[in-house]
Structure 1
């Protein structure tokens, strides 16, 4: 990379940060919960983050249909990962177990009709090499909402209507899907959620023998359940057990015993003029079949903000998430926040 490009990248990052800070200070008052001593806002823009396997970095989207960045947790230093080629923007970015990056994004983008780029007819999966030696390689499949990637092996799962799974293999350095298998179909779900729509979420650690997914359907409000399927026996379990609420699984803890959930249990019925997603806060759900839930955040208490899209570091010590403003569409974020679980325990002793 020549000095001109390096300087241009630095200028772009600085200007982006300045403009975003100015917008936040002018238009947004931070939620009261942000003042907790165990919370640190590491970026002033961005959404849908994912932890690196060593817990030293976070990858995130600049915005929906934007570029992908990486931030070093210790220093806050930003690195753009998708500035070295032209593209139409991304909707997801996840680390693969070898350090490469799984992307979801469309080959086309229309500013007059942007959301069609997020539709499974258009959003494709790609692999970007960790060394940023070129543009990403398409995997030849489409994806609804977010895929998931194993933290231990080169295996991914994704949804269109059904949920699919495949290993990623490299031939002469080029990634491809080895064999695509169908794991879950909506008609295979238990009676109480039969034919509900599906969305992939997590391979359950520590053994990756179960896939956690979301079943959702707008029958009354916009119900969603946290589900799991054993990849060997194909047995399906409903973990949240509240079809009258919106419980969407997000980041899973490394021991596999709990998962973070975006939930509306504190406000299960929406008011006129609001969407279900206006009432989201973060909860911790036990994956032992008990359905036990514990509320973690209270960003939504005054119906101004919501905490969303949490992920847990592989050592279980930190949660990274974003805060959003009530009224915004799903996935929108105004910066990445880190929650230090150990510091929280010290403060609350």
Structure 2
């Protein structure tokens, strides 16, 4: 009887493997703490700088990777409440966020929009008159940009509808604007809510995340798939092929053969709920089989911790990501870590 009870309890014992403490106290030799505050990093096209936000609905910063000098780009703007800062191919920036902060839900969803910010000192953000959902895909080679629109930021849309849009940032006029705006893909239900991620193969293809709302009965936060679209043919591919796990693509490798993924596959060994909270960073080969996943970080080995929001340098030599807590809302971070491949 005792032996039977032991065998029944053994799986639970094997799952209870998370460590106590702080993963930043045990960084591997190929990692270093780049900043002790901030979230949502982004490499410049020449890999000389990393842009990041100090906090959600906060100010935008950039750090020089040689001098380690940090500059604030929006601190002269009263009430700045941005969520993301991303480099354009010409060295300027795209800012994402509301004009002003109302509350974390309205400002992140209904009022979320795109802004242009010149890299010239003292520049002010210029509204691009485009509401959008969460993040954007921005080319490192051209002025191409992609973003998604949903019923959350466009109340006139049907409930649960979302679509991927492509546009170009045009600087030829008196003020920056978006031109050639057009739809490339759409979803009509909550089994695939869309978010643009990264261009690759000379901007002919793009990765995006398909969020699956409460697809798994034991998960209250929903799951996600790594998807890709050929912008010439319209063909869509499910790259992760893992319907029972969370897989959010974040950061393309320059050869276009791999992407970094916020994934929860380690939950099978460590226990806990599937979804966006118990995540670490994985590397996925974009061959469509979903079989080649390699774990890159082990922050979720520690109770209450995760690594998230990875980006890859355009030379493929480094990755930047943020350290975060599993209890936080997606995107919240407490410092940027630099990872050398």
Shorter-chain TM-score tier: 0.7 to 0.9
Give aligned pairs, total: 304
Q: Does 2:235 match 1:235?
A: yes
Distance in 2 (alpha carbons) for counterparts of 1:162 and 1:50? 24
Do the aligned partners of 1:33 and 1:299 also contact (CA within 8 Å) in 2?
no
Q: Does 2:257 match 1:261?
A: no
| Residue 310 (structure 1) shift | 0.5
1:212 equivalent among 207, 213, 229: 207
Counterpart in the other structure of 1:83: 75
The SS at the match of 1:69 is strand
* More RCO (CA 8 Å, sep 6+): 2
Q: Does 2:40 match 1:48?
A: yes
Matches within 5 A, 1:1-349: 30-31=22-23, 34-110=26-102, 113-119=103-109, 121-160=110-149, 161-187=162-188, 195-204=191-200, 206-218=201-213, 219-220=215-216, 221=219, 222-267=222-267, 276-291=275-290, 292-341=292-341
Counterpart in the other structure of 2:158: none
Distance in 1 (alpha carbons) for counterparts of 2:198 and 2:297? 21
The SS at the match of 2:299 is coil
Compared CA separation, residues 276 and 303, structure 1 to 2 (3 A): farther
Distance in 2 (alpha carbons) for counterparts of 1:275 and 1:239? 19
Distance in 1 (alpha carbons) for counterparts of 2:270 and 2:59? 33
Counterpart in the other structure of 2:10: none
| Residue 182 (structure 1) shift | 0.5
Deviations 1:63-92 (A, max 9, x none): 000000000112221000112322441111
Tell me how large the CA RMSD over aligned residues is.
2.1
Do the aligned partners of 2:62 and 2:73 also contact (CA within 8 Å) in 1?
yes
Deviations 1:315-335 (A, max 9, x none): 111010011112111111111
Do the aligned partners of 1:88 and 1:105 also contact (CA within 8 Å) in 2?
no
The SS at the match of 1:179 is strand
| Residue 210 (structure 1) shift | 0.6
Distance in 1 (alpha carbons) for counterparts of 2:274 and 2:288? 29
Compared CA separation, residues 50 and 169, structure 1 to 2 (3 A): same
Distance in 2 (alpha carbons) for counterparts of 1:296 and 1:322? 13
Distance in 1 (alpha carbons) for counterparts of 2:227 and 2:243? 11
Distance in 2 (alpha carbons) for counterparts of 1:264 and 1:146? 21
| Residue 280 (structure 1) shift | 0.2
Compared CA separation, residues 238 and 194, structure 1 to 2 (3 A): farther
The SS at the match of 1:227 is strand
Distance in 2 (alpha carbons) for counterparts of 1:104 and 1:269? 37
Report the TM-score, using the length of structure 1 for normalisation: 0.82
* Structure 1 ranges of 4+ moved more than 6 A: 269-272
Distance in 1 (alpha carbons) for counterparts of 2:164 and 2:340? 33
| Residue 53 (structure 1) shift | 1.0
Report the TM-score, using the length of structure 2 for normalisation: 0.84
Return 5+ residue gaps in structure 2 as ranges.
1-19, 150-161
The SS at the match of 2:276 is helix
Distance in 2 (alpha carbons) for counterparts of 1:115 and 1:73? 34
Compared CA separation, residues 229 and 71, structure 1 to 2 (3 A): same
The SS at the match of 1:174 is coil
Do the aligned partners of 1:94 and 1:148 also contact (CA within 8 Å) in 2?
no
Do the aligned partners of 1:323 and 1:336 also contact (CA within 8 Å) in 2?
yes
Compared CA separation, residues 74 and 179, structure 1 to 2 (3 A): same
Counterpart in the other structure of 1:15: none
